[in-house]
Amino acid sequence: MVNHSVASSSFSKRTIFAPQPIGVLPAQLPTTQVLNVELDEDEDIEWTWTTLPTGQQYVSGYTIISKSSDGN
């Protein structure tokens, strides 16, 4: 289970929960799966998905990015 805290800033933090696995039972997931990430208000996240040979998918990582200036 990974809970990543980003360095503090003058912005308030928000917790973003990882999307739910697709077709995977919790007991089948690795212990290093991503559960949530804390972000500053000016940050966003891109999830990295792993697809198993059976077609099951789970979030295995993430990249923190800056929010675009238009708010999207």
pTM above 0.75, yes or no: no
Is residue 71 predicted with pLDDT exceeding 70? no
Q: Is residue 71 part of a domain?
A: no
Residue 37 located in a structural domain: yes
Q: Which residue segment(s) compose the domain that 45 sits in?
A: 2-66
Instruction: Please report the DSSP string for 10-46 in residue order.
Output: SSPEEEEEPPPPBS--GGGS-TT-EEEEEEETTEEEE
Domain count, the chain: 1
Which pLDDT value is given to residue 38?
95
Res. 28: pLDDT tops 90: no
| pLDDT over 60 (residue 58) | yes
User: pLDDT category, 25, cuts 50, 70, 90?
Assistant: confident
CA separation for the pair 67, 60 (Å, rounded): 22
Side chain identity, residue 49: W
Within-domain flag for 72: no
Q: What is the pLDDT of the chain when averaged over all its residues?
A: 82
Assess if residue 49 is contained within a domain. Answer: yes
Distance (Å, rounded) from C-alpha 31 to C-alpha 61?
13
